[in-house]
Chain A
Amino acid sequence: MTRWAMVIDTARCVGCQACTVACKTENETPGDVWYAPVVEYEMGVFPDARMEFLPMLCNQCEDAPCIKACPTSALSRRPDGIVMYDQDSCCGSRACMNACPYGALHITFGVEGEALDGGGRTESTVPDRGSARRHQRGTIQKCTFCAHRIDYGLENGLVPGVDIEATPACVVTCPAECRIFGDLEDDESPVSKYMAEHAPAEVLRPDAETGAHVFYVGGAG
C-alpha cells in the first residue's frame, strides 16, 4: 500500500512564502484562499526575540474529522490517504471547517473560476491539473497534496517526492528544501528516510488524534 505523507523541517524554513504562492498558482485558488500558508509568529522578549515560521497545509488525516463532520459526504479519503473534496456534493454547511483542527478547509464566495490576472485560463495541459482549477462559490476546497500531480506522475512512471512533475508544488519550489514528500510505507522514500534521520517527528495538535500525515521536525510547532 501507498501512504503519501509530508515532513516539514521547520529549522530549515526561511519564511520566504514561495510554497504559499506556488500552491496558489498551481491550484489557482480564488481570492484570499491559501492552501499552504506559512504561519509567522513571534517568540521571546526583546532582545531574545525572533519570528518562527510554520508551514501548514491539509494534514491528510487518517481519521479525518472533516470527513466525519460532512453531512453530504463531499469529503472522502483515497486509499493512498489523500482527503479529496467534491464541490458538486458540498452543501456549504461548513461543518468540516469547524471540525478541522488545522484550518485546512476553505470556502469562498468570490467569482466562480476567478483567475489571477483576469485571464480566462480554464484548460490545463501537462501536467494535467484536472479538476484543480474548478472552484465553485460557496463550497469547500482544500489542499490535496496536489493529487493531480501525483496521479499524473504515477500514470507516467514517475515517483512522487522524487520527480518534480509528480510532487506537490509547495515541495518543488521550496529553496530551503524544508518540505519533503513521499510514500510513508516505502522505507526508501525521501519522506521515510528524512523522518528516520531526524527523529522524532511530531504532528501539530497531537491532542486531536486525527492521524495527521504532515509531520514536523526541527523543533517548532
Chain B
Amino acid sequence: MTIEADSSTLVGRNLLGSRSGTALGENWVRSTCIICLNRCGILAHVAEDGGVDKILGDPDNPHNYGKTCAKGDSGMEGLRVPDRITQPLRRTNPEKGVGVDPGWEPISWEDALSVVAGRLREIRKENPLRLMLATFDAFQFRGAHLASWVNGYGLPGYQTWSAQIFCGNNVHGILYMNQNAFEQVPDAIYTNYILLFGSQFGSVVHYDTMAAARDLSGRRDQLKVVAVDPVCSAAASRADEWVPIRPGTDAALLLGMVDQLINELEIYDEPFLKRFTNGPYLVGPDGRYVREQGSVKPLVWDVEAGEARPFDAVDPSSVALRGTYEVEGAAAKTAFDTLAEHVRTYSPVYVEEATSVPADTVRRLAREFGEAARIGATIEIDGVELPYRPASVAWYRGLSAHKHSMLAGMSIILLPTLIGAIDVPGGSLGDPYGMLGKAPGRQMIWEESDEGMIKRSFIGGGRVGGMYPPREVRPPDTPEMFELLPVGPYGAIFYLLTSEKEDVYKPPPFPEMLIQYHSNLVKTSGPADVMERFMRRIPFVVSITRRFEETTEFADIVFPDLHHLERLVPFTYSHYSAGEAPIAVYGSKPAVAAPFRGPVEEEPYVDVMQVLLELAKRAGFAGDYYQAMNRIGGLTGDHALDPEGDYTYVEIVDRQLRCHLGDDHDLAWFLEDGLWTAEKTVEEKYPRMFRTPRAHVYFEFMLQAGEDLRRVTGEMGIPWETDDYQSLPDFKPCPSFRRESPYDLFITNMKMPNQALSHTHRNPLLTGLSARHNDLRTVWINPVTAAERDIVDEERVVIESFEGRRQSAIARVTNLVHPEVLATQGCGGGWGSASNSDEVNFNALLAIDEEHIDFLSGALDCCLSGRVLKMNGDPA
C-alpha cells in the first residue's frame, strides 16, 4: 500500500489549524466546541503567549450562525490548569477505592503503551468481550473510529455509561422506529405549537440550541410553547405555559391526550395513518396481526373489495382505518381502533388523579395540539406541495429516566404520528445522520421490513439498538445483558445491577479491563459505594484524561488527554440543522499544540485515537481496525485502508475527508478552511412523503419479544421483568408514586443551561455563573411544602432518599417547583480534582435495584422517594 506524498508530508507539520482566513483578521482558528454534543462551529483566538483568550461562534457556520452559549464562550478553560496531566502515570498502590491514594508515578509512553498493549493482546486471545471501552466522546467521526476500533478488537460496541442510563434510553429506539432517526427536534421555522415533555428545547439545553433560541425567540407571536415539567426550567419560563406535572407520570397525560384526540375530538390525519402507519393493519383477539397464510404479510381491510388483503396489495384510498371485520371466521379489528379503545381508560379525570394536571388542562392541551396541526393543510417547499402540520413535540431525560419509561416513550411518539406531523413541515424532524458523523452520503438508509415497517438501519457499527425489529433474544455475552434487551438501546445499568446481585442474575464474566476517557462513570453513573464495588471488580483500568477525575482514581495506567482546542477530528456529530437549515460539515482543528508529546514521538499529539491506534498496532489488531474502518467509516475505492498497511491517524483522517468530500477536500484543505456547506433538497429537508416504510401506532412486535424473553430467561433460570412488553402503552407509576410516610416527596434533578451535557463543574467562569444564578448547592422546595416543614429560604437542610442515602443542601424556597418535589440541579459534588465537593451530588441518592430500573430500555428511575430533614436530623 502506497502512502500519498501529500499525506506523508503532513505528518511532519505541526497540524495546527490555519490562523487566518476569517474576516476577523489574524490568529483566529476555525474549530468546533465539544463541550456539549451540539458541536457548534467556533473561532478560537490564539493570544501572543500561545494560549487561547477568546472564543466566538463561527459566523460562516450555518449550524450556529456565529453564536455560542456560556459554555462555549468559556471553552478555553482547562487548557492551562495546574492539575493538568501531561505524561503517562502508573499506579503503585494496588489497593483501590474512593479516597485511596493511587501512588502515581511517571512512566514513559513506551512502557505505558507496552503494558497496556500486552494486556489487550492477552484478553483478546482469551475473550475480547472482557474488554470495556467507556467514553461519551463519540460524536464526531470519532464515533466511526471508536466503533471500528472495538469492532476490530472483537467487541460489538463501546459503552457511554451514564448516557446509557440517563439519556436517550427512550428517545433513540422510539425514533428509529417511527422516524428512522437517532434524534428529533421540532421544526422551529414552521411549527406553531411545541409540547415539551421533560425537555428544554428552545433554551440552550437540548439540540440545535443556537438555532432553536433564535427561531423560537423570533417567532414568539406566531407559536405557542407548552412545557410539561415538574420544575419551571429556563425553557418552561420562556414557554407560553408551564404545566407542572408529578414526576414520572408523563405517559398518563400523553395517553389522555391521545384519548381526547381520537375519541372526543376525532382529530387525526386519516390519509397519513392509512398510508404511513400500521393503523389499518388488522389485529386478532390475541393482539397479533392477522396475516396472510404463506406470505405472513399483515392484512388490511379493502373497503372496495370487501375483503382482507395484504397491506401492500391495497391502494391507501381503499384501506379501512377503523372498524372490526370478520376474517376467516374470527373478528379482526384495525390496529387504530384497538388503540382507540385502549386509551379510553385515560379519561381527563383519571389523568388528573395520576399527574396532578387538571382535567380541563388535559382536554385543552389535546384540543390545542390537534387544532394547531391543521390537518389537511399543505405548504409548498421548493416547488413541492407537502403536508403542513405545524404541531410538534420534544422530550428527553425528563420523560425517559424513570421506571416503565419505554411505555412513556411509546406514548409520546403517538402524538406526532396521529396528526401526521413526522418529517413534514412544521412537525417533528428526525436527524437523518445517525451518530457516526455528518458527511455527504452518510445519511440513514430507509429500509422496509417484510411487514412494511421502518426497519432500524445501521450505517456501520453503531451499537445503539432500535426497537424494531426486535433483536434476537439469547443468553447474554456480557454483564450489560444487552441480549436480554431486544427492544432497548443499551443497558449499562445492568453492569451495576448484576454486579450487586451476581447470584441472582448469573451474569457472564465481568470485564478484565476498562479503557476510559471522556466518561467519568464513577461520578456520573451511580452512588460512589456501588461504583466503587463495581470498579474493584475490574483488574486493569486505563484512564485517558486531562485532569484527575473520580474514575481516574481507580486507574492502573493514566494517559494524558487533549483539550478540545488541541485536537484534530473531522466531521461533527450532527446536528441535523433540521428542516430548511443547510448542511454544514466541519470539525475540530487544533488551535494550539498540546504542551506535551503523545504516543508517537515523531507525530504531534492531536487526538486520543492516536493512543488507541498505537495500542491496536502493538496488540496486533490494526488490520482488523482498518477493515472495520472501511466498513463503518465508509472508506471505499482508493480511499479504503489496506488491512496489511500501516497508517497514522492523520493519514486516516486525510482519507476520510477526501472520501466523503472529494479529493480536493483533503487534510490540507481541512486545516486551512475546514467548512463545507450545502443546501438540502426538499427530500432531505422533509423526507416522510418521499419514503414508503411505515411508522407504528400499534406495537405488535413487543408481544413476541416479551414471549421470547420469558422463554430464554426461564431457561437461564433468572428473574426478568417482561410485563411491559405490551402492544400498546400504559401509564405505570414509578415506585416513588406511592409517597409513603415518611418519604412522601419526590427527589429529582434537572439540567441547568450553563452546566448541562458536559463536564463544567471546575470551569471557573461557569461555576462563577452558577454561584450567582443557579447555586448547585441548593434544593428547590415549593413554599407550601417548605412552610409545612418549617423550612425557610437559604436554610441548610439534608435530603434523604428512602434508602437513607443523604446529601446536604441549601433550601431554595421557590414557586418554580411542584409541591411534591425536591429538585436538585445537575449532578455536582464528587471528590476528584475536577469536582466541586460542596455541590449536591444527586447520583449519590440513586437506587440501583429492580424496582428502579426499566428492564426494557435500561433507564434508571430519577424520581426517588425521599424527604427533607433539618440539619439536626429532625424530620422537617
Q: A123 vs B46: C-alpha distance in the bound complex, in angstroms?
A: 11
Residues in B neighbouring A173, C-beta threshold 8 A: 56-57, 67-68, 73
Q: Judging by beta carbons under 8 Å apart, are A21 and B769 in contact?
A: yes
CA of A146 to CA of B47, assembled, Å: 19
Please encode chain A, from 112 to 138, with 1 for each CB lying within 8 Å of some chain B CB and 0 for all others: 000011111111111100000000000
Q: Which residues of B contact A68 (CB under 8 A)?
A: none
Q: Which of B102-110, B234-242, B327-335, B631-639 contacts A (4 or more CB under 8 A)?
A: B234-242
Known contacts A164-B66, A173-B56, A175-B67, A14 near B74 by CB under 8 Å: no
Cβ–Cβ contact A175 & B242, under 8 A: no
CA distance A25 to B68 in the complex (A): 13
Distance A176 CA – B27 CA, assembled complex (angstroms): 27
Report chain B residues within 8 Å CB of A61: none
Contact check, A117 vs B816: say whether CB atoms are below 8 A apart: no
* B538 within 8 A of partner (CB): no
| CB–CB A51/B232 < 8 A | yes
Assuming the A-B contacts A25-B54, A25-B765, A51-B234, are A17 and B782 also in contact, with contact meaning beta carbons closer than 8 angstroms in the complex?
Answer: no
User: A177 at interface (Cβ–Cβ under 8 A)?
Assistant: yes
Contacting pair B70 A123 (CB below 8 A): no
1/0 per residue, CB under 8 A from A, across B793-831: the answer is 000000000000000000000111111000000000000
A205 contacts B by Cβ under 8 Å: no
Whether A28 and B53, one on each chain, are in contact in the complex, defined by CB atoms closer than 8 angstroms, is yes
Contact A123 B47 (CB under 8 A): yes
Please give the distance in Å from B226's CB to the nearest CB on chain A: 13
A165 CB–B CB distance under 8 Å:
yes
Query: CA A171 – CA B327 in complex, angstroms?
Result: 67
How long is the Cα–Cα vector from A25 to B54 in the complex, in angstroms?
6
Q: Which of A39-55 contact B (CB under 8 A)?
A: 40, 42, 44-47, 49-53
Rounded to whole Å, the gap between the CB of B227 and the closest CB of chain A is: 10
Q: Is B769 a contact of A20 with CB atoms below 8 Å?
A: yes
Bound-state Cα–Cα, A102 to B495, Å: 54
Q: Does B23 belong to the interface (CB within 8 Å)?
A: yes
CA distance A192 to B690 in the complex (A): 46
Q: For the complex, is A22 an interface residue (Cβ under 8 Å from B)?
A: yes
Contacts A17-B70, A175-B209 known; 11 new A-B pairs at CB < 8 A: A12-B217, A14-B235, A17-B753, A17-B769, A18-B73, A46-B244, A53-B234, A119-B47, A119-B49, A125-B47, A173-B57
A71, B64: Cα distance in complex, Å: 46
- By the criterion CB–CB under 8 Å, are B24 and A24 in contact? no
Interchain CA distance A50-B54 in the complex, whole Å: 33
Q: Is there an interface contact between A47 and B244, defined as CB atoms closer than 8 Å? A: yes
Whole-angstrom distance from the CB of A175 to the nearest CB of chain B?
4
| Interface contact B768-A46, CB-CB below 8 Å | no
Closest to A15 in B: B234
Q: Does B25 contact A (CB under 8 A)?
A: yes
A178 within 8 A of B: yes
**Residues in B whose Cβ lies below 8 Å from that of A124:** 47, 53
Option from B80, B235, B772 in Cβ contact (under 8 Å) with A117: B80
Q: Mark contacts of B187-229 with chain A using CB atoms, 8 A cut-off: 1 yes-contact digit, 0 otherwise.
A: 0000000000000001110000110011011101000000000
**Are B213 and A14 in contact, CB atoms less than 8 angstroms apart?**
yes
Interface size on A, residues (CB 8 A): 52
Query: Please, could you name 30 A-B residue pairs with CB atoms under 8 Å apart, sorted by A?
Result: A11-B217, A14-B753, A16-B213, A16-B753, A17-B69, A17-B70, A17-B753, A17-B754, A21-B754, A42-B815, A42-B816, A46-B244, A46-B815, A46-B816, A46-B817, A46-B818, A47-B242, A47-B244, A49-B232, A53-B234, A117-B81, A121-B51, A122-B49, A125-B25, A125-B26, A126-B25, A164-B56, A172-B56, A175-B67, A177-B218
In the complex with contacts A20-B769, A174-B67, A51-B204 CB distance below 8 A:
no
- Total count of chain B residues near the partner, CB < 8 A: 71
Residues of A within 8 A of B (CB): 9, 11-18, 20-22, 24-26, 28, 32, 34, 37-38, 40, 42, 44-47, 49-53, 116-127, 164-165, 172-178
Whether A125 touches B48, Cβ cut-off 8 Å, given contacts A17-B753, A45-B815, A177-B217, is: yes
Which partner residue on chain A sits nearest B215 by CB separation? A176
Q: How far is the CA of A28 from the CA of B237 in the complex (A)?
A: 31
Q: Which residue of A lies closest to B203 (CB)?
A: A14
Measured CB to CB, the closest approach of chain B to A140, in angstroms, equals 20
Smallest beta-carbon distance A63→chain B, Å: 30
> A20–B79 contact, CB under 8 A?
no
Q: Are B754 and A24 touching (Cβ within 8 A)?
A: no
Given contacts A164-B59, A174-B67, A175-B67, contact A116 B214 (CB under 8 A): no
Nearest chain A CB to B500 CB, angstrom units? 38
B210 touches A175 (CB 8 A): yes
Question: Would you call B204 and A18 a contact (CB within 8 A)?
Answer: yes
Q: Is B49 touching A121 in the complex (CB atoms < 8 A)?
A: yes
Q: How far is the CA of A125 from the CA of B73 in the complex (A)?
A: 18
Q: Would B217 and A14 count as touching, CB distance under 8 A?
A: yes
Which A residues are in CB contact (< 8 Å) with B78? 117
Q: Which residues of A contact B210 (CB under 8 A)?
A: 175
Task: Please name all residues of chain A whose beta carbon is closer than 8 Å to the beta carbon of B17 when the two chains form the complex.
Answer: none
Q: B73 and A25: CB pair below 8 A?
A: yes
Query: In the bound complex, do residue A165 and residue B24 qualify as a contact, i.e. CB atoms below 8 Å apart?
Result: yes
How far does the alpha carbon of A25 sit from the alpha carbon of B42 in the complex, in Å? Answer: 15
Given contacts A165-B23, A175-B69, contact A14 B47 (CB under 8 A): no
A26 to B27, CA, bound (A): 15
Task: Report the Cα distance A24→B73, complex, angstroms.
Answer: 9
How far does the alpha carbon of A172 sit from the alpha carbon of B766 in the complex, in Å?
19
Q: How far is the CB of B546 from chain A (nearest CB, A)?
A: 13
Interface presence of B76 (CB below 8 A): yes
Q: Is the CB of B47 within 8 A of A127?
A: no
B55 interface contact, C-beta 8 A: yes
Q: For the complex, what is the distance from the CA of A51 to the CA of B237, rounded to whole Å?
A: 5
- Residues from chain B with a CB closer than 8 A to the CB of A13 are 217, 238
Shortest A82–chain B CB gap in Å is 21
In angstroms, Cα B51 to Cα A116, docked, is 11
Closest-CB distance, B77 to chain A (whole angstroms): 6
B13 at the interface (CB under 8 A from A): no
Q: Which residue of the partner chain, among B27, B67, B202, B204, contacts A126 with CB atoms under 8 Å?
A: B27
The answer to whether A123 and B765 have CB atoms under 8 Å apart is: no
CA distance A164 to B45 in the complex (A): 15
Q: Roughly how many angstroms separate A11 CA and B27 CA in the complex, as a whole number? A: 36
C-alpha gap A13/B217 in the complex (Å): 7
B764 at the interface (CB under 8 A from A): yes
The complex places the Cα of A24 from the Cα of B232 at a distance, in Å, of 28
- Among residues 15 to 71 in chain B, which have CB atoms less than 8 Å away from a CB atom of chain A? 23-27, 45, 47-49, 51, 53-57, 59, 64, 66-70
Q: Which residues in A have their C-beta under 8 angstroms from that of B209?
A: 175
Q: Are A125 and B69 in contact (CB under 8 A)?
A: no
B773 within 8 A of A: yes
| A116 to B81 Cα, complex, angstroms | 10
CA distance A66 to B296 in the complex (A): 83
Residues of chain A with a CB closer than 8 A to B66's CB: 164, 172
The residues in B between 565 and 604 inclusive whose CB is less than 8 angstroms from any CB of A are none
- Which residue in chain A gives the minimum CB-CB distance to B239? A50
List of A residues within 8 angstroms of B74 by Cβ: 21, 25
A50 cross-chain contacts in B, Cβ below 8 A: 232, 236-237, 242, 816
Known: A51-B232, A175-B214. A16 touches B204 (CB 8 A): yes
A15 to B754, CA, bound (A): 10
Contacts A18-B70, A25-B765, A164-B66; A49 near B242 (Cβ below 8 A) = yes
* Choice from A21, A37, A119, A176 contacting B80 with Cβ under 8 Å: A119
Q: Which residues of B contact A26 (CB under 8 A)?
A: 54
Considering the complex, give the chain B residue whose CB is closest to the CB of A37.
Answer: B772
**B82 proximal to A (CB < 8 A):** yes
Are A116 and B76 neighbours in the complex by a CB distance under 8 Å?
A: yes
CA distance A121 to B54 in the complex (A): 11
Inter-subunit contact A15/B47 (CB<8 Å): no
Known: A51-B232, A116-B764. A123 touches B815 (CB 8 A): no
Q: Determine whether B783 belongs to the interface, using a CB cutoff of 8 Å to chain A.
A: yes
The CA of A169 and the CA of B217, in the complex, are separated in Å by 20
Contact, CB under 8 Å: A14 / B238: yes
A49, B49: Cβ atoms closer than 8 Å: no
Q: How far is the CB of B647 from chain A (nearest CB, A)?
A: 35
Closest A-B pairs by Cβ, 8 of them: A49-B815, A126-B25, A12-B217, A51-B237, A175-B213, A176-B217, A119-B51, A21-B73
